[in-house]
Amino acid sequence: MTNNKLVLVSGANGHLGNNLARLLIKKGFQVRASVRNINNKECFKGLDCEVVQADITDKASFVRALQGVDTFYAVGAAFKLWAKDPKKEIYDVNMQGTRYTIEAAAEAGVKKIVYVSSIAALDYTNLPTKESNGYNPDRRDMYYNSKNDGEKLAFQLAKELGIELVSVMPGAMIGSEAFLPLNVSYGVLRLILNKQIPMDTKITLNWVDVKDVAEGCYLASQKGRSGERYILANEKCMTISDTTKLAQKLYPDLKLKVPGSVPKFVLYAIAGLMEYSAKLSGKPPVLTTKEIAMFSGLQQDFDISKSRNELGFYPKDGKQAVKEAMDYLMKHKNLL
């Protein structure tokens, strides 16, 4: 099957971007993959796609990259929960990137944008969380703020510039093709398998297979309604402790221990020490006080009926996604 339509995937050397590029190639699209650093080509070996350099903070690079493109999958963004200067390194980059890439798409005559937002841009006050709940009122995290404000800006610009835009909101993506550095979600599984989670944080994650999210992005380009947002996650979340219990069953030889519970003030003290050493070393801490404040005990359960009914999105369940992702890590020891 061939499809003459040219599509661009930005951030195509990232976990979702690379798996999405692979899916679109299989579906017969002409795929152009953009990366910030043109030397990052390892993950495109054997793939029939054009790799170009484009940086979300450089509008001209995207005007060039988007020439002749029918659909733009806007995946590229700063995805990290910790930085020395979070406003500058995360918030400003993502806000500027949203503005520049959408303006560039309009200038280049792109027909449709699938904008990759995040479940971070949802309001969790009423469970199960759904798209119509609105935006996240918790303003304590710069990555979360960039996803909430970025999505609003994306819709506003698309309306002003007369371009179709659909937003998709993935959960914690794991599984399938992965390359170093691992994304934040896959990194949690690595910490579990390497026995590096010392205590029960009561943090939950909504695990979803990256291949299902890639399929959801494609379905959004075909069936998504312009101006609408769609959750690409599972209905139920899992605690890190339950994920560890699953790993125990799968790999008894690893002799994994389920982390024990400690009072919240102890969690804050340990996270505080980790943050202090991170400031000295410049390496992200395993745990931050803000993560405990925002996420300890937060249920990330979703109503995905809109994505199911309108897009035909049927992800494999979280436990199955975790099992396959852990198998992938165990087979690719270099990632552990």
Instruction: Tell me the mean pLDDT per 10 residues along the chain, length 336.
Output: 82 96 97 94 94 97 98 94 91 97 98 97 95 96 97 98 98 94 92 92 96 98 98 97 96 94 92 92 90 93 98 97 97 92
Domains of the chain: 6-174+208-234+302-316 (3.40.50.720)
Q: Any idea of the CA torsion for 213, 290, 97, 279, to the nearest 10 degrees?
A: -120
CA terminus-to-terminus distance, the chain: 37
Q: State whether the Cα torsion 5-6-10-16 is positive or negative.
A: positive
**pLDDT score recorded for residue 81:** 83
**pLDDT score recorded for residue 4:** 73
Q: How many C-beta neighbours within 10 Å does residue 186 have?
A: 21
Rg (Cα) of the chain, in Å, rounded?
19
Q: How many C-beta neighbours within 10 Å does residue 206 have?
A: 23
List CB contacts of 261: < 8 A, sequence separation 6 or more. 199, 200, 202
**pLDDT score recorded for residue 180:** 87
Residue 50: closest CA among 74, 27, 77, 24: 24
Beta bridge mates, 164: 112
| Phi and psi angles of residue 238, each rounded to the nearest 5 degrees, phi first | -130, 140
- Whether 92 contacts 48, CB under 8 Å: no
**pLDDT score recorded for residue 3:** 62
Task: Give the Cα separation of 185 and 16 in Å (integer).
Answer: 12
